[in-house]
Amino acid sequence: MKIITWNVNGIRAALGKGALDWVFAQQPDVLCLQEIKARPDQLSEEQRTHAGYEVTWNPAERPGYSGVASFYSTSPAEIEIGLSDPRFDNEGRVIRTRHPDFLLYNIYFPNGQRGRERVEYKLDFYARLLELCDSLHASGENIIITGDFNTAHMPIDLKNPRENETTSGFLPEEREWVQKFLDHGFVDAYRTLYPDRVQYTWWTYRFAARARGIGWRLDYYLVSEKLFPRVRDVIIYEDVQGSDHCPVEMVVD
């Protein structure tokens, strides 16, 4: 099974650049998009559908902001929107789908760079998700969490860790929450497969950062420990343009 995750930083802009042509040509079984910044009624029929795929949308209430969409070639047995918490569910950040052997979360995690209040909101979001995942693990479920985590976990995951120690996205308390997921039965699939490899998934549009290799790894696959032995590969497509993030693929048996 092939899953691709991509923060497209505006689905209408990505469509205008032809970026989604590339991703559908890879024929993923599931495509998880984040930061779509649009409601489906703002797209044409051609823009919001793709032959051979069904799609679930979870746009934010606020126009032009956040939002996620999941495309799948086989109908999931169950679809759930949000985290069952009104504090988080108006921002269009979560779609959970049930597949034969696992639950898949497509998530656009909050960004904490608009001030301390948003950092606390982000940490609370992590806590609510982990609460749900702990319960699911306790009931025997396997889980894959993918999307834009908006946090680089370890120094290897960004170009300039020392300069960013006080920057949201690399704050100790944010990194600690990513570690908590690993301590609660999850595996960072890419980093476990490639412990020393340096690749990034996001680059600021400023300072020609992408061309200069100044990036962060913000887009992850966290996989239940019991499921991880079936993960065959995680591929970061650094050269694929169309967003300030690049797509990331995971292949699982």
148 is catalytic: yes
Q: Which residues does the chain have with pLDDT short of 50?
A: none
pLDDT value of residue 114: 79
* 3-class state of residue 245 by DSSP: strand
pLDDT value of residue 112: 92
- 21, 124, 148, 233: the catalytic one is 148
Q: List, edge to edge, every strand of the sheet that includes 143-148.
A: 78-81, 94-99, 102-108, 143-148, 219-224, 186-188
pLDDT value of residue 199: 98
Q: Which residue has the tokens 């049930």?
A: 98
pLDDT value of residue 206: 94
Contact partners, residue 172, CB within 8 Å, separation at least 6: 165
DSSP state of 109: P
pLDDT value of residue 115: 84
Q: Which residues of 145-184 are buried (b: 16+ CB within 10 A; e: fewer)?
A: bbbbbbbbbeeebbbeeeebeebbbbbeebbebbeebeee
pLDDT value of residue 87: 96
